[in-house]
Amino acid sequence: MIRPEFFIEKLRENGIDCFAGVPDSLLKNICAYITDHCDAEHNIIAANEGAAVGLAAGHYLATGQPACVYMQNSGEGNIINPLASLTDPEVYNIPVLLLIGWRGRPGVHDEPQHVKQGKVTTGLLNTMGINFDVLSKEEDKAEKQIANAIDALKKKDVYALR
């Protein structure tokens, strides 16, 4: 994983300074960094992932700046409705950056309860029409992926980094 401070500072350089989500063990270092470097108004731990998408949408409507929603991939099911009925281009067209920890990733050993969700993670994103990247562990490559995500957000798209 890239350094959390690198990732968060790249987002901040591009106007993303609000984070909402459900902490994830795969994202624990990034979640810890956000907790240590953001006040309670800019880091909201939500009751569920769908609520986090709603908070991100509200932040965008209030400020004109997109927010980042962090979660484990098991939370993808909770974001389907708010993405389809709130952020979608056919509804209110609200950009959101999704940061998704990928438990049960095919080819990577994980606990049995994560295997199925790991298999369907990219399929759910594809079904929802959400473009995504698997975030590189190399910061120069990750920087380009973050730039791609920012470009998508500027077009008012939802974009996911895993």
Residue 93 to residue 66: CA distance in whole angstroms: 11
Q: Using 50, 70 and 90 to split pLDDT, how confident is the model at 10?
A: very high
Mean pLDDT, residues 2-13 taken together: 97
Query: Identity (one letter) of the amino acid at 8?
Result: I
Write down all domains in the chain, each with its CATH number in brackets. Answer: 4-161 (3.40.50.970)
Q: What is the pLDDT of residues 63-75, one digit of tens each?
A: 999 999 999 999 9
Read off the tokens for 32: 């810890």
Tell me the pLDDT of the chain averaged across its residues. Answer: 95
Confidence at residue 119, expressed as pLDDT on a 0 to 100 scale: 84
Handedness of CA 148, 153, 157, 162 (dihedral sign): positive
Q: Is 116 a residue whose pLDDT tops 90?
A: no
Report how many helices (DSSP H) and strands (DSSP E) the chain contains, helices first.
6, 6
pTM of the predicted model as reported, rounded to 2 decimal places: 0.95
Enter the DSSP assignment of 87: I
Q: Could you give the percent of the chain with pLDDT greater than 90?
A: 86
